[in-house]
Amino acid sequence: MNQRVLRNLIIGGVVIGLLSLSITVFGQQAADKVSAAKHPDLAAAQQFVESATNKLDAAQKANDFDMNGHAAKAKDLLTQAYAEIKQAAEAINAKK
């Protein structure tokens, strides 16, 4: 198998893996969405995290996912931030 075909297969596998991860993360985020009616600032923060994740996705695609894993790590940290925002809202709800 020539190197070009092998490279395309590897890139295709990475893209499929990242898409499935994005779908999983999106599904999780939908369940962890903060109520904008109860916590507008926290909900806005979650929207900023979603926007940042989308921008990282676009940057990865534009650069053939060749960022030495830094964009993927940033997305992992954003996923953690999203969850922490949800936990902050839950902490407020527990006090009321």
Range of the domain at 30: 3-95
pLDDT of residue 93: 94
Model confidence over 8-66: pLDDT tens digits?
778 877 778 776 666 665 555 678 999 999 999 999 999 999 999 999 999 999 999 98
Number of structural domains in the chain: 1
pLDDT of residue 28: 59
pLDDT of residue 29: 67
pLDDT of residue 78: 97
pLDDT of residue 22: 62
C-alpha span between 28 and 38 (Å, rounded):
20
Q: What is the mean pLDDT of residues 87-91?
A: 97
pLDDT of residue 92: 96
Residue 65 exposed, middle or buried by CB count within 10 Å (0-12, 13-18, 19+): middle
For residues 50 and 86, the answer to whether their CB atoms sit within 8 Å is: no
Distances (CA, A) of 84 to 26, 38, 87, 92: 16, 16, 5, 12
Maximal C-alpha separation, the chain: 64
Side-chain half-sphere CA neighbours of 72 within 13 A: 13
For residues 14 and 61, the answer to whether their CB atoms sit within 8 Å is: no
